[in-house]
Amino acid sequence: MDGLCQHCQQEKATVLVTDNFPEKRERHLCEECALREGVIFKQKENGQQILQQFIKASASIQKVSARTCPTCGMTLKEFQKRGLLGCPNDYDVFGDLLAPLIQRAHAGATHHVGKMPPGLDESARKRTSLRRLNRELQDAVEQEDYELAADVRDQIKELESA
């Protein structure tokens, strides 16, 4: 295979990638660009294998993202180690990096087309709000912001009596 990578135009193309979806086409990529796209160099692929291969392969990419999830502290490195994400927010934080992996693992699919969750009923919404407010109250007291604490306490009382 001669020539430069068709994607970055910088490194030598050493990998021939044949895509079958959405249509059949062949591309010549360098190893790094191929890895970034979630291409795995193995014959048989299933979900778990793809995941493991991606994790092992990605570890060798030089510029690994230093991004951290503000909610749970997950990093790409940590995900690579465990193969599991830390919280729902990770899909937002690492969405762009996860997308090629997900696409590969699910035979080219990129979007959910199945059922949606039902709307939350009244009492569930109230429960969730109360839990959130109680956490806010705890934080305010810990930070000794008693004015805020009093405010949150009022909100809780109002919600509970509603």
Q: Which residues sit at the interface with other proteins, rule CB under 8 A?
A: 46-48, 50-51, 71-74, 82-88, 91-92, 95, 98, 101-102, 105-121, 123-124, 128, 131-132
Instruction: State the nearest-atom distance from the C-beta of 14 to other proteins, in Å.
Output: 27
Instruction: State the nearest-atom distance from the C-beta of 53 to other proteins, in Å.
Output: 12
User: Looking at beta carbons only, is 103 or 155 nearer to other proteins?
Assistant: 103
Q: What angle do CA 26, 21, 16 make, to 5 degrees?
A: 25
Query: What does the radius of gyration of the chain's CA atoms come to, in whole angstroms?
Result: 23
User: Looking at beta carbons only, is 45 or 154 nearer to other proteins?
Assistant: 45
Instruction: State the nearest-atom distance from the C-beta of 150 to other proteins, in Å.
Output: 24
Which tokens sit at 72? 């749970």
Instruction: Tell how far CA 129 is from the center of its chain.
Output: 26
3-class DSSP state of 12: strand
Instruction: State the nearest-atom distance from the C-beta of 27 to other proteins, in Å.
Output: 21
In residues, how long is the chain? 162
Integer Cα distance of 120 and 126 in angstroms = 10
